[in-house]
């Protein structure tokens, strides 16, 4: 290249595309954890879990107003954070959530110690979520959805 020519501009992909930390978009994290916390509030307040006529525990998502089964939703959160823990080589407090999901799935009685442990675990998981990038969180969601689909196909 001669001295009179400028060097080519280096290629730079979109600046920070998907690199936005979730702490700058807290409503995304709240959309995951607020329904769970409102369910725990209802259990503490009323002493019972909202359920369908056949006894399946459900919760109302405040974001879209729809009702969802509680145990599969909790298991999805657990799977996503288990994947995150394996990728980052960090322990995550998932045992209280697993215990809650199991107790809700099989209609076992809940104790206040269980709810307190779940609240502490949620606090840690929420803080961990705020440090994730949007792209990484979307990848965790996709990975979890694929794993659930594969598990359903294996079971069939």
Looking at residue 10, its pLDDT comes to 77
Q: What SS3 class is residue 7? A: coil
Q: What SS3 class is residue 121? A: helix
Cα-Cα-Cα-Cα dihedral sign, residues 39, 120, 106, 71:
positive
Q: Along the 156 residues of the chain, how does pLDDT read in single tens digits?
A: 566 777 777 776 666 665 789 999 999 999 999 999 999 999 999 988 999 999 999 999 888 899 999 999 999 999 999 999 999 999 999 999 999 999 999 999 999 999 999 999 999 999 999 999 999 999 999 999 999 999 999 998
Mean pLDDT of the chain: 91
Q: Is the Cβ–Cβ distance between 140 and 18 less than 8 Å? A: no
Indicate the pTM of the whole model.
Answer: 0.85
């Amino acid at each position: 290249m001669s001295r009179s020519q400028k060097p080519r501009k280096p290629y730079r992909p979109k600046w920070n595309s998907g690199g936005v930390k979730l702490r700058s978009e807290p409503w995304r994290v709240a959309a995951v954890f607020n329904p769970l916390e409102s369910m725990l509030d209802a259990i503490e307040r009323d002493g019972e879990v909202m359920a369908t006529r056949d006894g399946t525990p459900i919760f109302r998502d405040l974001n879209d107003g729809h009702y969802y089964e509680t145990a599969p939703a909790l298991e999805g959160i657990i799977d996503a954070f288990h994947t995150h823990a394996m990728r980052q080589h960090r322990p995550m407090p998932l045992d209280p959530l697993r215990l809650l999901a199991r107790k809700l799935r099989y209609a076992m009685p809940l104790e206040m110690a269980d709810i307190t442990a779940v609240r502490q675990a949620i606090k840690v998981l929420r803080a961990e979520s705020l440090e994730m990038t949007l792209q990484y969180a979307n990848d965790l969601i996709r990975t979890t959805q694929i794993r659930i689909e594969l598990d359903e196909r294996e079971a069939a």
